[in-house]
Amino acid sequence: MAEQNQMFSYQGAVFLCERDAGGKPVKPEWVGDATVKVALATETAEHNESFSGQRLPYARMTTRKSATVTLTLFEARSANLAVALYADQVVTVSGSSTGETFPAGLAVGDAVLLDRSFVSNLQITDSTGSPVTLTAGVHYELERPNAGLVRILALDGVTQPFRAAYSYQAVENLTLFTRTPPEKWLLLDGVNTLDDSPVLVDLFRVRFDPASELALHNEEFGSLELTGSALYDAALGSDPTLGGFGRVVRKAGVA
């Protein structure tokens, strides 16, 4: 009987899970559109015999096993960026700022960055005893509201230093290199697109390096490539259905 065709082309959803105190996956987070690859490798030591006079290879021993994981993320979700940048996610609520003082000695054409971003309702006053309110479009321009960048247009009839009052929106800050690299449980809930047969892949302890590159200008779709290692889990290694690094799970009966 001819052997069953087992050609394959996998696709599937990738989840990164936290690990609880017992090492089990919790809080699975779908990373969105992504691709993942696993590269298995070994290092070996070889021994050449000494009895034939030709020093022929006689024994081979594995000295190291490793599994490298490459995860390419095509969506800049907050959780993805946090993993890629070793970042903490810090949310700042919306509010208002008053009395924010500009640097002294500004000249026409100079720019000032406000302390907050995503700015609206900006008013600028000078420092005379009865403060004069500067006129937008005459004395200054809120050139970049998202960045909070103000451009000085004219200084006639006003006294420095200036003071700003404005509203700002809530923002999410992702602070670079402020988080200890987390270990993640990686789950692929996949399918062989040739025959729609399901396949699951678990990698129990994955620790990623930071993203090798975060392109701040893109001509096409952007992506984040993460490379890391699948580490051995001694607690799971004694379970024959799990192994210590990970597993591929298919329905019984698939050749």
Q: Which amino acid is at 213?
A: E
* Fold classified for 10-46+60-88+176-250: Pnp Oxidase; Chain A (2.30.110)
Q: Indicate the pLDDT class of residue 42, thresholds 50, 70 and 90.
A: very high
Contacts 24+ apart (CB under 8 A), 231-238: 231/183, 231/204, 231/205, 231/206, 231/207, 232/205, 233/23, 233/204, 233/205, 235/22, 235/23, 236/23, 236/204
Tens digit of pLDDT for each residue in 138-191? 999 999 999 999 999 999 999 999 999 999 999 999 999 999 888 999 999 999
Q: Indicate the pLDDT class of residue 5, thresholds 50, 70 and 90.
A: confident
What pLDDT score does 12 carry?
97
How is residue 50 annotated by DSSP? S
* Fold classified for 94-169: mini-chromosome maintenance (MCM) complex, domain 2 (2.60.320)
Tens digit of pLDDT for each residue in 59-69? 999 999 999 99
Residues 140, 144: Cα–Cα separation, whole Å: 12
How is residue 136 annotated by DSSP? B
Break the chain into its structural domains and give their ranges: 10-46+60-88+176-250, 94-169
Contact by Cβ (8 Å): 124, 162: yes
What pLDDT score does 254 carry?
59
Instruction: State the average pLDDT over residues 31-55.
Output: 96
Tens digit of pLDDT for each residue in 51-100? 999 999 999 999 999 999 999 999 999 999 999 999 999 999 999 999 99
CA atoms within 13 A on the CB side of 200: 12
- Determine the Cα angle at 171 with ends 134 and 139, to 5°: 10
Domains 10-46+60-88+176-250 and 94-169 alike in fold: no
Phi-psi region of 233 (alpha: psi -120 to 50; beta: other; left: phi over 0): beta
